[in-house]
Amino acid sequence: MVTIGDIARAAGVSRSTASYALSGKRSISAEVRQRVADAAQELGYTPNAGARALATSETMVIGLLARFHEDEFAPAMLQYMLGVSDTARELGYDTLLVTEADGTRALRRITRSRMVDGVVLLNVAQDDARLPLLRSAPQPGALVGLPGDPSGVDVFDLDFEAAGRLMVDHMHRLGHRELLLVSQPENVVERGGAYVWRLQGAVVQQARARGIELHAVFGESRQPAVGRSLHALLDAHPTATGLLLNNEAAAAALPSVLHARGLEAPRDLSVIGRYSDEFARTFSLPFSSIESAPDLLGEMAVRQLVRRITTPGARNEPHVLRLLQPELIDRGSTAPPASGNPG
Amino acid sequence: MVTIGDIARAAGVSRSTASYALSGKRSISAEVRQRVADAAQELGYTPNAGARALATSETMVIGLLARFHEDEFAPAMLQYMLGVSDTARELGYDTLLVTEADGTRALRRITRSRMVDGVVLLNVAQDDARLPLLRSAPQPGALVGLPGDPSGVDVFDLDFEAAGRLMVDHMHRLGHRELLLVSQPENVVERGGAYVWRLQGAVVQQARARGIELHAVFGESRQPAVGRSLHALLDAHPTATGLLLNNEAAAAALPSVLHARGLEAPRDLSVIGRYSDEFARTFSLPFSSIESAPDLLGEMAVRQLVRRITTPGARNEPHVLRLLQPELIDRGSTAPPASGNPG
DNA sequence: CTGAAAGCGCTTACAG
DNA sequence: CTGAAAGCGCTTACAG
């Protein structure tokens, strides 16, 4: 392998001069700088990452801890991952992807061994076991997802409570008085998926405040269970005129369910989901939705993380808790309720 | 940070003895070994990855080069990524995820800087610009996807030609005599997506051999274009009785299209797709399909890569080219053609 | 069975 | 503006 010693020799200077010439960290005569640059170019020099990390205590790598559960809709996760990975690269960082089931073990490994300069956690739970570890790690951490205790880390998430209220108010304004809500599967809640009950709680409360009758259920994450549960819900509440979805799998399954029942949105049922526009386009979802902005959230998390890594003193600044205000993307799937019973 | 010097001091031995005690690379008295283990445990010692990499020339990280194009269906990629990442971890490796658009630049960076011990390439093109670079890299490489020139790397892929023949023969056996084939978007082919024409070529040839009339088109990757193109295809060939799909987005969109036309599979149209069972369950796809086995292919690639990394001499063994024989998962979407015209 | 020392390839005070 | 040297934290021949 070609080392900085090779460059130095080729350029006829010392290794330190070669290093400084390449980094620009001290003034070097134009001529020497050119000779070093030429040598590096010619020999195809790239600094050894391990050696540099050892010398500088910086790896230029951020850790991305994702987790995939059988009962969650994996494709939605990919967009967060890409938001993180693309932004990291833009800022000069590579991304160590960790999908290990035991997140605490993984986090301990990559922080203690100094494989990463910082960590982004996805799919954060209310009482996330990875958090105490992350707080005591020497590297800063950023979360996509709001935990019960957000101290010691930077947190970015959609404002799911505002999202719930927005869904209800939008339906209320159109004249709906009986709504259905399909949340994520109950297992997600039991694992501490706080965003599920944050949205659901807000929907329940806002429905009560607006005098709306609400039927809320946990959904499923897989066919055929998803479809069955949607059918069962529609069977059980034939007079409901609006459907709210905080469940990507249910959203993906809904078109078929509506077709099978001879229903159309918004003619027979108004529908609002909660997913990204990217998701909607990929999966052909014709429903208006609260934008979940996974790429933006991933990007914000990485930008803040890198700020903390690179800015002197930023390590001690107060931590950020930023909740994105929800936005409703209108795809024409809501309208005033029909007078008749679509049953 | 706690270093091996701290452990040595705590255990009252030299640093080299501490290192050997932890690695087990030479015999150490049971008593010393225990003292060192206790000290490491107590102080929470984890070797510094950079230092270890510098000393051993092994990073215990593999690079995963994925790429996402606007006109490809991203969720399918995720399964390959997880197959790679999970298997790597199982074998003691972490995964550096690279999603950079400029794959050659990325590959040069991570191989030259010795950030990784080996590289897995996804989404390999016929004349993939990353390949010459990978061949000349000091680290071994494994591909998921068959390029025009598979020399110098280990290659794993589905046997798309056999898959095409299997699709046609299955339909032929049932009595179908006019088939439709929807491939990936033309852009994918233009970029060198060889699997598209490998399957398509085999389908064309086998159809001819069996006396089947075939209408093959490139599909789309996004709504609403996907749906429109499926409708157009069905409009154009009302007498076709079978539909073959080598396009995940088209498969995901097909249920809605069939519903809209009042068609049912297999009553009015027999359908065979090409995607994974995981994909089918996630996206509620009721069609029989050739299993694309992304997790298995990712796993095979990593196992072989790690073999080459770790086994002495394996670096020089002849390279592997393994094409997975296609398997048809029957989900009941094919049957003998109806006598009438489903128009 | 154990220790002192060299070396991996960088960066960066220290000295001129 | 440049060079010689120390040091980052490991591993592993070399020596006993």
* High-pLDDT (> 90) share of chain B, %: 84
For B137, the token pair is: 């890299």
H or E segment at B118? strand B118-121
Q: Cβ–Cβ of A50/B49 closer than 8 Å?
A: yes
* CA–CA gap between residue A3 and residue A1 (Å, rounded): 6
> Mean pLDDT throughout B222-247?
94
CB B89, CB A68: distance < 8 Å:
no
Q: Which residues in A lie closer than 8 A to residue B138 (C-beta atoms)?
A: 1
Q: How many Cα atoms sit within 13 Å of A95 on the Cβ side?
A: 32
> Mean pLDDT throughout A225-238?
95
**CB contact A252 to B (< 8 Å):** yes
Q: Cβ–Cβ of A95/B96 closer than 8 Å?
A: yes
pLDDT at residue A284 tops 90: no
Strand spans (E) along chain B: 61-65, 94-98, 118-121, 141-144, 154-158, 178-183, 213-218, 242-245, 270-274, 288-290, 321-324, 328-329
- Which residues, 6 or more positions from A82, have their beta carbon under 8 angstroms from its beta carbon? A295, A298, B68, B74, B99
Scanning every strand, the nucleotide with its C1' closest to B17's CA turns out to be C2
Provide the residue count of chain B: 343
* CA–CA gap between residue B114 and residue A46 (Å, rounded): 9
Quick one: pLDDT at residue B273?
A: 98
Spatial CA neighbour of A264 closest among A177, A342, A153, A152: A342
Scanning every strand, the nucleotide with its C1' closest to B6's CA turns out to be D9
H or E segment at B49? helix B49-56
Report residue A169: phi and psi, to 5°. -65, -40
| Chain D footprint positions (protein CB, under 7 Å) | 1-5, 7-13
Kindly indicate the confidence band of residue B203, based on its pLDDT and cuts at 50, 70 and 90.
very high
* A316-336 residues labelled b (16+ CB within 10 A) or e (exposed): eeeebeebbebebeebebbbe
- Express each pLDDT in B63-77 by its tens digit: 999 999 888 888 889
**CB contact B229 to A (< 8 Å):** no
Report residue A185: phi and psi, to 5°. -60, 150
CB A287, CB A271: distance < 8 Å:
yes
> Mean pLDDT throughout B314-335?
96
- Express each pLDDT in A133-160 by its tens digit: 999 999 999 999 999 999 999 999 999 9
Spatial CA neighbour of B131 closest among B109, B115, B147, B113: B147
* CA–CA gap between residue A186 and residue A198 (Å, rounded): 14
Nearest residue, CA→C1' of D2: A17
pLDDT at residue A304 tops 90: yes
- Express each pLDDT in B26-41 by its tens digit: 888 888 999 999 999 9
| Facing residue for B78 by CB, picked from A1, A49, A75 | A75
| Chain C footprint positions (protein CB, under 7 Å) | 1-5, 7-13
Distance of CA A59 to the CA centre of its chain: 23
Q: Cβ–Cβ of A284/B226 closer than 8 Å?
A: yes
Scanning every strand, the nucleotide with its C1' closest to B11's CA turns out to be C2
For B151, the token pair is: 């020399």
Quick one: pLDDT at residue A161?
A: 98
Q: Cβ–Cβ of A256/B252 closer than 8 Å?
A: no
Contact between the CB of A93 and strand C at under 7 Å: no
H or E segment at B236? helix B225-236
**CB contact B225 to A (< 8 Å):** no
Q: Which B residues between 44 and 103 have a beta carbon under 7 A from any strand D atom? A: 45, 47-48, 51-52, 54-56
Contact between the CB of A29 and strand D at under 7 Å: yes
Quick one: pLDDT at residue B339?
A: 64
Report how far apart the first and last C-alpha atoms of chain B are (Å, whole number).
73
Q: Cβ–Cβ of B46/A86 closer than 8 Å?
A: no
Spatial CA neighbour of A280 closest among A205, A339, A341, A331: A331
| Residue with the two structure tokens 């159809």 | B207
* Cα A222-A246-A127 angle, rounded to 5 deg: 90
Which homologous superfamily does the CATH classification assign to the domain defined by B61-158+293-325? Answer: Response regulator (3.40.50.2300)
Identify the DSSP state of B251. Answer: H
Scanning every strand, the nucleotide with its C1' closest to A15's CA turns out to be D3
Question: Which residue from A minimizes the CA distance to B58?
Answer: A50
Distance from residue B137 (CA) to nucleotide D7 (C1'), in Å?
Answer: 30
Q: What is the CA radius of gyration of chain B?
A: 25
Report residue A246: phi and psi, to 5°. -120, 60
Q: Cβ–Cβ of B98/A99 closer than 8 Å?
A: no
Quick one: pLDDT at residue A339?
A: 64
Contact between the CB of B282 and strand D at under 7 Å: no
Q: Does domain A160-292 have CATH number 1.10.3720.10?
A: no
Q: Mind telling me how many Å the CA of B268 is from chain A's nearest CA?
A: 16
* CA–CA gap between residue A301 and residue A158 (Å, rounded): 12
What are the counts of helices (DSSP H) followed by strands (DSSP E) for chain A? 14, 12
Relative to beta strand B242-245, strand A328-329 is: unpaired
CB B273, CB B287: distance < 8 Å:
yes
Contact between the CB of A59 and strand C at under 7 Å: no
pLDDT at residue B137 tops 50: yes
Domain boundaries, chain A: 4-47, 61-158+293-325, 160-292
> Mean pLDDT throughout B167-188?
97
- Express each pLDDT in A74-112 by its tens digit: 888 999 999 999 999 999 999 999 999 999 999 999 999
Spatial CA neighbour of A285 closest among A240, A333, A328, A244: A333
* CA–CA gap between residue B19 and residue B253 (Å, rounded): 58
Relative to beta strand A94-98, strand B94-98 is: antiparallel
pLDDT at residue B246 tops 60: yes
Identify the DSSP state of B265. Answer: T
Q: What is the dihedral of CA B17, B21, B24, B29, to 10 degrees?
A: 90
Report residue B275: phi and psi, to 5°. -165, 175
Q: Cβ–Cβ of A284/B54 closer than 8 Å?
A: no
> Mean pLDDT throughout A169-188?
97
Q: Cβ–Cβ of B49/A115 closer than 8 Å?
A: yes
* CA–CA gap between residue B329 and residue B326 (Å, rounded): 10
Q: How many Cα atoms sit within 13 Å of B301 on the Cβ side?
A: 34
Spatial CA neighbour of B41 closest among B68, B13, B22, B69: B22
Quick one: pLDDT at residue B315?
A: 87
**CB contact B236 to A (< 8 Å):** no
Largest CA distance in chain A: 88
Q: Which residues in B lie closer than 8 A to residue A50 (C-beta atoms)?
A: 49-54, 59, 114
* CA–CA gap between residue A65 and residue A42 (Å, rounded): 38
* CA–CA gap between residue A296 and residue B167 (Å, rounded): 41
Identify the DSSP state of A325. Answer: P
pLDDT at residue A293 tops 60: yes
